[in-house]
Structure 1
Amino acid sequence: MLKKNLVYIIIGTLTFALILFLEYNKKEEINWFPSYVTHHKIPFGTKVLSDIIQTKFKSIQEVERPPFEFLKNNSDTTSTYLFVNNSVSFGDDELADLLEWTAKGNTLFIASSNFEDSLLDTLGLATESLFGDEGLAHEFQHKLVNPNLALKRNFSYEKSYSTMYFSALDTLNSIVVGEVSNASDENNDFEIHPSIIKQDFGAGTLILSTFPIAFTNYFILKDENSAYTAGLLSYLDWEQPLYIDTYYKSGKKFYTSPMYIFLNTKELKWAYYLILIGVLLYVIFEGKRKQRAIPVVNPLVNQSLAFTRTIADMYFEKGERSAIANHKIAYFLEEIRTNFYLNTETQNEEFYKNLAARSHHSFEEIEALFNLINSVKNKTILTDDALIALNSSLEKFKAKAHGK
């Protein structure tokens, strides 16, 4: 039996070790979360964009505060404010501050899949979704329309089943910068819609793009898509200071949880897992409650019977047989009241019949028993034989009444 258990333990240990080995050497999964954070190297981070901007613009500042707070102390210099995220929503008061800042001669560039209604209403715009006909396998074609960019080809993106476009424009003030279509090799009947627009606002300029993916690591590094992103950046004045928003981001710039350090490093993550497994094994095999041996404490002896015998011996030694008999008769009558629910005050023929019916006795037996009891109660001097006869009769009644 011991050898059999040892074999099971060895097999279990080897299996567990194999699982750990396979998990440790498993290829790390790609994180497709759309963070848009400037230092993230994941596909939908913007680390590559940040590196490109560092080489092009003379003055760059990352803004980690809300725009309304930042612009209070930075509203005098003509500059560009760049927002890139999956969704950007300012709120009415903050949007009013941004538009006022833009109207002073600044440039506001927002790349987002979703725009708040108040911004669209102000600029006379509307957006809708454009869907492909092949699900996630569909490739949307993006194009910059400015002929001066010499970008005559389309730039494809295939990681989404839909994309946003501007379904309504202020044709007097809006200039289409980029377009998107759902064209595919099998479908020639496709739609073309504006996806990037430029609009003068006061003395400044507004540029809105419904395709923020164009600024992510994945898009820029794929094929020759960097030309598309560079074409968009060419609409910005590289001599002006550039403010890059890092406040409105889907991902976190800083990870406040200390567990991120463990779980983001392969070695530390598995060390952490091994500690948890070790604790679990300890709980299973060694975590049982241990305590000192409990001393044996003998229960207290029931002295009631000994006390009763002592009292009985005292009565018997003094010759008080009548007192003993009266006590036994009183206890007997109490048992009848308790067990058979009969009133013992009146002992007549009806009482005898009820007691006989409830105690498995005949009427004659009950009558004879109570005649004996009454005769004992009426005697002033009681012999040992009479006391023994009374006790025997009472015990026989109890035994038969209880089915013994």
Structure 2
Amino acid sequence: MSKQIKFYIALTALAIFGIVLLEYSKPKQINWFASYVKDHKIPFGTYIFHEQLDRLFYDSEIINLESPPYQNLTQSDSIHGTYVFINSYVQFGDTELGKILEWTSKGNTLFIASENFEDELLDTLNLETDAISIFEVEGDSFQFRLSNTMLDTTTVVFDKSKYAPYFNQIDTLNTSILSTINGYEFEKDTENLITTPVNVIKQPFGDGTIILSLFPQAFTNYFILNTPNQHYTAGLMSYLDSSKPIYVDNYYKSGKSFYTSPMYILLNTKELKWAYYIMLIGVVCYIIFEAKRKQRAIPIVKPLRNQTLDFTRTIANMYYEKEKHNDIAQHKIQHFLEYIRTHLHLSTTTVNDEFLKNLAARSNNSIKDTKHLFTTIERHNENTKLNNTQLEQLNTLIETFKSNNSWKKKT
């Protein structure tokens, strides 16, 4: 191995080591995906919420459900208590929503935190929703506050959203306001009786209760870990009945609660991920430096081209252009006689009837055609001045004679 190749190998290894070092030392990028999954510790996961839920309701039974609510409520009659849904957007569908509302009307509590609700649910509860843009409030964040003075009514801040949904219309006779959006008020000439946007409400439904929140971010890791926001989330949870089981939905989630791909486990563990990368780098290095040929490729030397035919064609063309038809005819005749001696194994010293008869038999030509050919040859031998037509006639007769013999060999 030459010094130049060793230098390039060392340079490549140094570059790979530098890339690995930079990737290892740079800070891990924050994942802001809104997953709302209970096991996710990313900012918009709900790992902290589920931990605090166990602490707040230590005397209650908390059950996490992975299957659709319609399946849970249909297959089991023992589900009674509070059903909690938290996600960016929760949409049940007509059949499933009807089943959930029927279950709620039997004395249970339905808690849904979502940035929007399906029209069927809003129409059933006489609600309408709208949203406030971040440009309509002071600063670059939204402020929220609990309405119940018996709870901690400290204003909390959320700065990771461009808009804040609120209930534009509510049934004021049957609806309790649990939380509002501060820092924004409706215009005085509005027909809405509510002066401050409402984002969390509670409403009776049959013998049960429905609690709707347009602020699901209140249950994320990012929100709860910013003091004093945890008191706001705990205040909302205080409306749940702690004497009955609490069923937490893990089906309607933007992110996955579990991963079926083995690559997730491999790439999500730092040590295994770098072991995988180093293995790939090693394979690439092997392909580059070891899988190549050990011996330099032998160049293909093309054999010298046989230019005899080209030379003969050139000379023939020269003779033809200078109208030396007699010379061409003599060469053609001599070549034909050599053909007879070589391929048909007949002596051309004496041309008589016996010779013509043997030649016709061996060449698959008739005796008449054979005699006509040699009569023409004899005539051309005596004629020293041939024209183009005579030369072409001679050539045609010879080629026809030879082609018949070729056909015989093939068959």
Unaligned 5+ segments in structure 2 are: 185-194, 307-335, 361-371, 396-411
Change (3 A) 1:389 1:2: farther
* 1:336-351 equivalent positions in 2, closer than 5 A: none
CA contact (8 A) 2:340 2:346 kept: no
Aligned to 2:164: 163
CA–CA separation in structure 1 for the residues paired with 2:120 and 2:64: 26
CA–CA separation in structure 1 for the residues paired with 2:276 and 2:130: 47
Aligned to 2:17: 17
CA contact (8 A) 1:102 1:108 kept: yes
Partner AA of 1:62 in structure 2: N
Partner AA of 1:310 in structure 2: T
Aligned to 2:33: 33
Aligned to 2:7: 7
What's the RMSD between the two structures over aligned residues? 4.2
CA–CA separation in structure 2 for the residues paired with 1:267 and 1:50: 28
Partner AA of 2:148 in structure 1: N
How many residue pairs match? The answer is 336
Aligned to 1:59: 61
Deviations 1:339-392 (A, max 9, x none): xxxxxxxxxxxxxxxxxxxxxxxxxxxxxxxxxxxxx979599499649998xx
Structure 1 range deviating more: 10-19 or 154-163: 10-19
Aligned to 2:243: 239
Change (3 A) 1:314 1:106: same
Change (3 A) 1:289 1:128: farther
Partner AA of 1:277 in structure 2: I
CA contact (8 A) 1:137 1:158 kept: no
User: Displacement, 1:275?
Assistant: 2.3
TM-score scaled by length of structure 1: 0.72
- Secondary structure of the residue aligned to 1:270 is helix
CA contact (8 A) 2:137 2:183 kept: no
- Secondary structure of the residue aligned to 2:32 is coil
Aligned to 2:214: 210
User: Displacement, 1:290?
Assistant: 10
CA contact (8 A) 1:75 1:101 kept: no
* 1:190-229 equivalent positions in 2, closer than 5 A: 192-229=196-233
CA–CA separation in structure 1 for the residues paired with 2:242 and 2:101: 21
Q: Choose which of 273, 277, 280 in structure 2 pairs with 1:273.
A: 277
TM-score scaled by length of structure 2: 0.71
Partner AA of 2:102 in structure 1: E
User: Displacement, 1:317?
Assistant: 4.0
* Amino-acid identity (%): 48
CA–CA separation in structure 2 for the residues paired with 1:38 and 1:385: 111
Unaligned 5+ segments in structure 1 are: 184-190, 328-375, 399-404
User: Displacement, 1:25?
Assistant: 2.3
Q: Choose which of 343, 346, 353 in structure 2 pairs with 1:314.
A: 346
Aligned to 2:263: 259
User: Displacement, 1:201?
Assistant: 0.3
Change (3 A) 1:103 1:381: closer
CA–CA separation in structure 2 for the residues paired with 1:38 and 1:12: 44
CA–CA separation in structure 2 for the residues paired with 1:134 and 1:280: 55
